[in-house]
Amino acid sequence: MFKPGEPWLLPHDNANREDEPLLADKERQAVNILVDLFERRAPVSFYEGEPLKALATLAYSDINHLQLSAATAFSEISEMDARPVSREALEPILYLLQSPDIKVQHSASAALGNLAVNVENKLLIVRMGGLEPLIRQMLSPNVDAQINSVGCITNLATADENKMRIAKSGALLPLTRLARSREIRVQRNAAGALLNMTHSIEHRQQLIAAGAVPVLVELLASDDPELQYYVTTALSNIAVDEGSRQLLRDTQPTLVDALIHFVQNSTIKVQCQAILTLRNLASDEEYQLQIIKAGGLDSLLPQLQSAYDPLVVSASACLRNLSIHPDNEEPILNSGVLPLLVNLITQSGNDEVQCHVISALRNLVANNDADKTPFAEAGLFEHMKLVLSDQRSSEVVVGEMAAALSVFVLDDSLWPYILSGGFLELLVPLTRSHIVELQYNACATISSLAGKASESSDACSRLAQVWDKPDGGMQSYLAAFLAVDEGMDPLLRSVAIWTVMMLLESESSDLVQLVLAHPSIIKNIDKIAQMGSLSEADARLSAYTSDGGLRNSRAFDGDAYNPEDGDLGDENDDDDDIYQRLESMAQDVVALVQNLDR
């Protein structure tokens, strides 16, 4: 309920107003009702009943000062009471918005802007045709009118249903023009409206067509933190799309330098958004290199040590994408960031930071064949083991850790640390996860260690120790993945066959005996070798390359603000290839068993 304060009505007696027509009876009655409400100072709703009828009478009057009184009243009332309103309440406000009097327009648009903070009102205003008069008011030379009309459209644009109507209404061109206004309040409102139109690819493309991109980049030169925030956030969203990143790269050569400047010299909110924009740009190879060459790395490192979590999340996400390019490995490692990244695995306490950091480390290890001992010496595996041993660790974080281990184990300088670090006992239980990718990465790491059994007696003894424990041990998941009477993901079935092959080729009598003595493992592999094809439930993709080797489970991964698919570089194989490879590997195992029996 609105409780009236000081009267906002202009004088309403006829004696002293020679420039206005005489009030009609209904107008005089409406004025009296409203004055009486104010004099009694009673709480009242002006959006219904007699108070609304009285305000509507003034709004539809031919007398200008009564219209202005009604518009002013709606503006002040809505500022304190922005409840959902009816069509009947909005109709007089929309009528006032079309007045030739700029003061009436100004107050009416202020009222709509106030009411548009409510979701129901946002939708109703647009459905009732409120956009057209607001756009006309945006074109007014009056700054106050521009501020209110653009502010109202900014609020309206937060509703998804309204975005398409706003885009089709022709509002984007004047909004883009007003973003260049010399009045900072107009700039802020216009930039806010443009930002609200960047949340879907269709609307982002319409903004680009309206010429918004060069304007947004120009506004990066502003000293106003609020405007900086709107602009960097809008550009971050635009940079999600591959085509838009190419447009930015081809037409905006100053963008990276401006964003790096914000990372170093702006408010925390702007720093976060500037880093996220760099992160999204760094989904492309060219930007990955450009950001490093422009000094972006030096700007990011202090943010990784911030006490403000969102800043650390943004910085670690950006570094993750920068680490994708092989040419960036040397400058990243030479920056001294390795100990910091390793410590963040356990010290951050934030799932997103942990995932970004371990992914960055995974990228750096996978980028080339140089000695990776410094990663182990920095305590990488001790920190990873702490996370994997902690029952409170989220599945997402554990999944990233397992994926990283499946890459680290392929490195000649790192696999001994994984073997001796007690990871086998942590990986075996993960093979029973309900997440197939997590299962696969755990199994792939174990399989890679099994491949070392032929050259390491320590590997043989440690694999034998986890044959039947914990949680049933290796034999349990191998038997489950090789069962032929159930549909099984071919990734898991393939890695199981490969693991058995590695154990049999280990020349360890203990491991060979454990495999051959199992009641179902070899029997089921023999059945797979003779099947010729597998069930439909098995067909997804093969875990093996064309030469029969185990495929690296990880491709370089980078993401934009809103990634829609997984790792870059995944390869899908035809179902026939899957069946043939599984059958071929199974036949190889059967032949190997026959040779061992001779």
Amino acid at 256: V
According to the model, what pLDDT value does residue 131 have?
93
Count other Cβ atoms within 10 Å, centred on residue 326: 15
Percentage of residues of the chain with pLDDT beyond 70: 88
Nearest-CA neighbor of 316 among 355, 366, 273? 355
- 180-233 pLDDT, tens per residue? 999 999 999 999 999 999 999 999 999 999 999 999 999 999 999 999 999 999
According to the model, what pLDDT value does residue 33 have?
83
According to the model, what pLDDT value does residue 1 have?
42
Residue ranges for the chain with pLDDT beneath 70 = 1-22, 41-42, 486, 532-576, 598
Cα dihedral 538, 539, 545, 548 sign: positive
According to the model, what pLDDT value does residue 532 have?
57
According to the model, what pLDDT value does residue 13 have?
46
pTM (two decimals): 0.83
CA atoms of 501 and 481, how far apart (whole Å): 14
| 408 contacts 362 by C-beta, under 8 angstroms | yes
According to the model, what pLDDT value does residue 4 have?
44
CA atoms of 450 and 453, how far apart (whole Å): 5
293 CB-near residues (< 8 Å, 6+ apart): none
According to the model, what pLDDT value does residue 37 have?
80
According to the model, what pLDDT value does residue 44 have?
81
- 47-56 pLDDT, tens per residue? 999 999 999 9
